[in-house]
Homo-oligomer: A and B are copies of this chain.
Amino acid sequence: MSPILITGGTGFAGSHLIEALLEKGVPAADIHVTNLVKKPSFVDTILPEANIHQLDLTHSRATFELFAKLKPRSIYHLASFSSPSLSLENTTKAIETNVEIQMNVLEAMREHTPQARLLSIGSASEYAGSTEPLTEISQLGPHDPYGVSKVAQDMLAYSYTVRYELGIVRVRPFNHIGERQEPGFVVSDFAQQIVKIEKGLERELRVGNLTVSRDFSDVKDIVRGYILLMTKGQAGQVYNLGSGQDVTIQELLDKMKSFAKVGLSVSPEERKQRPGDIGRSVADITKIKALGWQPTIPLDETLQRILNWWRLKLLEGTA
């Protein structure tokens, strides 16, 4: 039986997706992933070594060879230059990397697995700022190069779907958080700092802009949405995926402070300000709810789990 392929599968969302697939009874032998750089990761502990393919998806020949060899039936296409903040310093690289990855994967699919299903991962960053909840037909208008690159990926996926009749479903996930996320993202950043302060290794919690609000989901809810869309999503369609609720970064900080084992003093940091960021971003999730998905994990629970994960990491000396 042809396998499931998860591009960028050793990353944050990928690792949670694999866990979710294994929990649903998919054999580990059926799950293949790509990663850009060979380095030890959590995924090594749950997948056979032979199923982890070191591969730069910006290289078309290597991408084509992988598709020719594996002939995947389902492709969760997660690989991406994924940091909005880094994209501001690396505009060209962010956009060109994501365009090249997308073109190679779509062309490889068209050539070798035209009957497969593919889930193309967009982003809430594709939308223009709005004080209203964002539906799938809200105006696109990214504020950073990362968002531009995700619009380009999204539109490429759409164009291949309509021109070549491929089975591509698109999703626009809003912010998601959980264990194993890099500290470049706000909740991991706060959590890492908090556990260091608890241990007396740091003194102050350095923070950026606290006034913006975002729609945060547990990554475990998000990957459950990906699995649902792979089977029930309609080819050619795009689906928002988020909690449908927004919180300000200040509210998030207050929650995390209340879960900390020590009192925390907070210090605003100029470097972390990002003028031009969107003020509010919250998903209208009516469309994916109609397919039977809804968020299940309360934000407080997720935040406490993340703090505990960082505490363990610090204890192990890997934080």
A residues neighboring B (CB under 8 Å): 91-92, 95-96, 99-100, 103, 107, 128-129, 137, 139-145, 147-148, 151-152, 155-156, 158-159, 162-164, 275-276
Contact = CB atoms under 8 A, between A and B. Distances in A.
A164 B129 CA distance: 15
A275 B163 CA distance: 7
B140 A140 contact: yes
A155 B162 contact: no
Contact of A148 (B95, B96, B159, B275): B159
B159 A147 contact: yes
A140 B138 CA distance: 10
Contact of A137 (B139, B142, B147): B139
Contact of A159 (B92, B103, B144): B144
A275 B100 CA distance: 24
A94 to B, nearest CB: 10
Contacts of A129: 162
Given A92-B103, A164-B276, 20 more contacts: A95-B103, A95-B156, A96-B96, A96-B99, A140-B140, A140-B151, A140-B155, A141-B158, A141-B159, A142-B155, A143-B159, A143-B163, A144-B159, A147-B155, A148-B152, A148-B159, A151-B151, A151-B155, A152-B152, A163-B275
